[in-house]
Amino acid sequence: MSDRTPRPATIYAVAERAGVSIATVSRVLQGTNHVASATRDRVLDAARQLDYLPRGSARALAAKKHEAVGLMLPGLSGPYFADLLVGFETAAAECGLSVALLMTDERGLSSPLRQLVARVDGLAVMARPGQLAPDDLASLGRWLPLVRLAASDHPATIHAENTASARELTEHLFGHGRRRLEFVGDPELAPDAAERYAGFAAAHAGLGLVPAPAVPVGFAEADGRRYARQVLSRAEPPDGLVCVNDEVAVALLDELQRGGVVIGRDVAVTGWDDIMTARYTRPGLTSVSQPVRELGRLAATALHDVIAGGSTPGPAVLPTRIVIRGSCGCPEALPPDATEPQPGPTKEETK
């Protein structure tokens, strides 16, 4: 613990011990240039004996690169961000890049952001609308390669497909005979939400219907619960609820059930993201599965390409997959009463 050597070995110590110059040590350690294998071994030995570890800061300063990328997220609640992060980190590591993380849920972001920007070679940003002024972003882009996540307004954004899936999902509910649909989620809160509502509206337009206005609620369970209670108190409740994400959907579903509503019969409920919980509600939650991890991975590799190659990162849109379970009204191979045996896995029809 406390036998931490006051001054860890430097490249000079290694060079001296190996009887070579620091340049040679440097060459050996990063594998550039040719070094006679005998010399290399001596250097490697010396480094090992001294437990040498090059200071990242010194390397970064001299080489003018950090070998690190940053990821800025608007919070880390829910499985969505965790998965995104996994994909990002994995891909970054494969490219030999460290990952610096910044969550800026509520905090004033200016100072931490600058700190982050000063220590990475590229940055992936996912931010809520209004969280980051366009000026800030422009200024960021002047410093380093930038990739935007799920920002429909940005040219080089990378995100999952929303509008078409939302339309298809909505049409699926129409197919179940549902006509009084509502979109539960605030389009103002995220570009993704806006696109999903657009798809919801498009499906209505396709049938000559007028979509109900979006229900402006947040992304958390509490938001879903709250709205469910409001629905329960209404004289003419909707017969279908297209939720902006699964958190809202499962909470809403749960609360409606507690209010005596039979999901899939009285009302159809759908979510978005296909989180773990969607598989465990009764009925299972029909949802839209996004390749979130892939999204993170793509962000990291895009950054790596830009950093390495210098090309501008292109936009990308990833495909989604509608996962049908019981909450939309589809039959489900599940024990409604668990006393009667019903073997076999959940039926998950994918389009």
State the residues that interact with DNA by CB under 7 A. 7, 10-12, 19-27, 29-30, 32-36, 38-40, 52-55, 58-59, 61-64
By rule CB under 8 A, what count of residues binds a second copy? 81
Q: Which stretch binds a second copy (CB under 8 A): 39-47, 49-57, 236-244, 320-328?
A: 49-57
Which residue's structure tokens are 């800026």? 104
Question: What does 202 bind: a second copy, DNA, none (CB cut-off 5 to 8 Å by kind)?
Answer: none
51-110 binders of a second copy (CB under 8 A): 51, 53-61, 66-68, 75-79, 81-82, 85-86, 89-90, 93, 96, 98-103, 107
The residue (of 12 and 280) whose beta carbon lies closer to DNA is 12
220 is a contact residue toward a second copy (CB under 8 A): no
Taking CA atoms, 212 is separated from 166, 226, 314, 315, in Å, by: 15, 19, 35, 31
Structure tokens at 62: 């001299």
Using rule CB under 8 A, residue 231 touches a second copy: no
- Partner touching 276 among a second copy, DNA, none, CB below 5 to 8 Å by kind: a second copy
Contact of residue 228 among a second copy, DNA, none (CB under 5-8 Å per partner type)? none
Smallest distance, DNA to C-beta of residue 3, A:
18
CB of 194 vs a second copy, minimal distance in Å: 24
User: Segment 255-314, which members bind a second copy (CB under 8 A)?
Assistant: 257-263, 276-277, 279-282, 312
Which of a second copy, DNA, none sits in contact with 77, Cβ below 5 to 8 A by type?
a second copy
User: Interaction with a second copy in 309-348: which residues (CB under 8 A)?
Assistant: 312, 334-335, 337-345
State how far the Cα of 304 lies from the Cα of 76, in Å rounded to an integer. 23
39 binds, among a second copy, DNA, none (CB under 5 to 8 A by kind): DNA
Looking at the Cβ atoms of 154 and 304, the one nearer to DNA is 304
| Among 34-42, 113-121, 125-133, 181-189, the segment contacting a second copy (CB under 8 A) | 113-121
**Residue 2 touches a second copy, criterion: CB under 8 A:** yes
CA angle at residue 247 from 244 to 250, to 5 degrees? 100
DSSP lists the bridge partners of residue 199 as none
State the nearest-atom distance from the C-beta of 133 to a second copy, in Å: 14
CB of 209 to a second copy, least distance (A): 29
